[in-house]
Chain A
């Protein structure tokens, strides 16, 4: 307000410098690339699939797909900022759904009891992932690759053993599932014949909570710190192991929510559900500006990354392009995003300002500590 009423004739040169640095500050923000990408993809499909893209059902279809990716991808982005991977995050969505379905349909429990048991199992697996990573010092890529195959094999073995089939169906017939359908797969509102599902609320809620934790709380600072340099973070008093284990458990928790949403949407649990999805989650996080080295990234960016995935997946079909091209497009988008992120960071590093956007205190302290450590 005051700037508007201020006299206009004062230092023009200062103003120009301020503008340039604002532009630069915007460019180096981790979510900028994802925002630009989302706009480009939206405009592309708006031009290709005009009437259906702009219709309510068209909008609903890509928002729903994006939200489903996001349920787990948000947590995966947090984990990547914390410097780790979880290749078992995809199969986790299928595992949790399968456990809940077997408890409810085959054992005959109330759905909620089965779902809570499934949650406990998920958190246990998440804890084990984290514990193995921090105690062994092995890369999480290897540890969770192991978990991925263990879960995949276990799902198949257990399901075949219990049901003799590879699918558990008729979850809707179990006690308590009516409420669960409302909670995990209800409709927020119907407009123009399109039913906007509650998964969109879950997704937005989780992204908002995650972003708040990351940027406004001490835990958020810890996550940046352990992702930047774990040893240095530990030395300045960050509970590094607990933070990392907590992150793996958060991924498991979100995988469980994802699993419950899919289970309640489709009335079935399938042994191969979620296999391969871990890569989509990682792609969404990278599109959103997360670095594979950790210590940098944004949840708003990751949420926009999910939107890019969902829009691409559905846009290709709505535009009536050959949908065999989806994977090809996904790969190209990932490469473009990765190159663009790298280019922007290099370009930003040439400025006098620090290359990384203002990271929280412990993170910068951590990286200083690390370089000193390395020098000895």
Chain B
């Protein structure tokens, strides 16, 4: 894709990268990058968990080998360790969702001082929530996840989940068009050479119902 983008740039076409491309939007010659930096998002999630009292956290990784997910866990670990807590990564197998639930349950049993679970996506959040439910500890252990799904919004509304990290994909579609339009009509550049971050945004039990309505309307 780099060659086609270089050709576009040489032809004088303005470029903005979206969602993935944080690391190389500058060498492509893009005006800016619009997306979520996973380490920054992880730090944000970790800080929020620590603020709510989390000291012993497990980060459930459902997709071993995904660098983006590693960055989320590492970012969260930095923030939680700065606040004096600890974070351990627990690998589970997404192909075996019932087994993943049992493994999360076993981890919670093995160390009863675990007071928070961070899931890296809705597919990891579902077995984590089920495991907490089965142990009768849903709502007592702080649960948070990255990204939204109808199930995640339901859990937020029910109060069994503390928050979800939202990278606000709507913005990732909307903003580049605005930025490109301003660039062509008004020669504006946004971001000052830095990426424009659309996340982490946070969806909490307080605003989950509104986000749900907005999602139904198609803007979230």
What residues make up the interface of A, taking CB atoms closer than 8 Å to B? 49, 52, 55, 57-58, 61, 64-65, 68, 90, 94, 167, 169-170, 193, 195, 261-262, 265-268, 270, 272-277, 313-314, 317-320, 323-324
Contact = CB atoms under 8 A, between A and B. Distances in A.
B110 A268 contact: no
A314 B94 CA distance: 16
A320 B95 contact: no
Contacts of A195: 134
B119 to A, nearest CB: 14
Contact of A266 (B127, B135, B149): B127
B110 A52 contact: yes
B102 A65 contact: yes
Contacts of A265: 98, 101, 130
Among all A-B residue pairs, the 5 with the closest Cβ atoms: A317-B106, A275-B95, A318-B110, A314-B106, A65-B102
A323 B97 contact: no
Given A55-B109, A61-B102, A313-B99, A323 B91 contact: yes
Contacts of A65: 98-99, 102
Contacts of A58: 106, 109
Contacts of A57: 105, 109, 135
A374 B103 CA distance: 51
Contact of A277 (B96, B107, B136): B96
B136 A193 contact: yes
B111 interface: yes
Contact of A274 (B90, B95, B111, B127): B95
A64 B99 CA distance: 9
Contacts of A261: 98
Contacts of A90: 95
B99 A68 contact: yes
B134 A68 contact: no
Nearest to A275: B95
19 contacts: A52-B109, A57-B109, A65-B102, A68-B98, A68-B99, A90-B95, A193-B136, A266-B98, A266-B126, A266-B130, A274-B95, A276-B95, A277-B95, A317-B103, A317-B106, A318-B106, A318-B110, A319-B110, A323-B107
Contacts of B103: 313-314, 317, 323
A273 B96 contact: yes
A247 to B, nearest CB: 24
A259 to B, nearest CB: 11
Interface residues of B, number: 28
Contacts of A317: 90, 103, 106-107, 110
A324 B127 CA distance: 19
Contacts of B96: 273-274, 277
B192 interface: no
A110 B54 CA distance: 43
A87 B90 CA distance: 28
A72 to B, nearest CB: 12
Given A319-B110, A323-B90, A61 B97 contact: no
Given A167-B123, A169-B149, 4 more contacts: A52-B106, A266-B130, A267-B126, A323-B103
A contacts with B: majority SS? helix
Given A169-B150, A270-B123, A323-B90, A61 B106 contact: yes
B102 A270 contact: no
A261 B101 CA distance: 14
Given A266-B130, A270-B97, A277-B95, A64 B102 contact: yes
Contacts of B98: 64-65, 68, 261-262, 265-266
A90 B96 CA distance: 10
Contact of B110 (A49, A262, A275): A49
B140 interface: no
Contact of B101 (A167, A169, A170, A266): A266
Residue of B98, B126, B130, B150 with most partner-chain A CB within 10 A: B98
B151 to A, nearest CB: 6
A52 B130 CA distance: 20
Contacts of B101: 265-266
A114 to B, nearest CB: 19
A254 B102 CA distance: 21
A47 to B, nearest CB: 15
Interface in B128-175: 130, 134-136, 149-151
Nearest to A314: B106
A169 B105 CA distance: 21
B7 to A, nearest CB: 32
A302 B202 CA distance: 48
Interface string B72-115: 00000000000000000011011111110111011101110000
A181 to B, nearest CB: 13
B110 A320 contact: yes
A266 to B, nearest CB: 5
Nearest to A326: B91
Contact of B97 (A170, A266, A319): A266
Contacts of A320: 110-111
A272 B105 contact: no
Nearest to B134: A195
A265 B98 CA distance: 7
Contacts of A52: 106, 109-110
A256 B111 CA distance: 35
Residue of B103, B109, B136, B149 with most partner-chain A CB within 10 A: B109
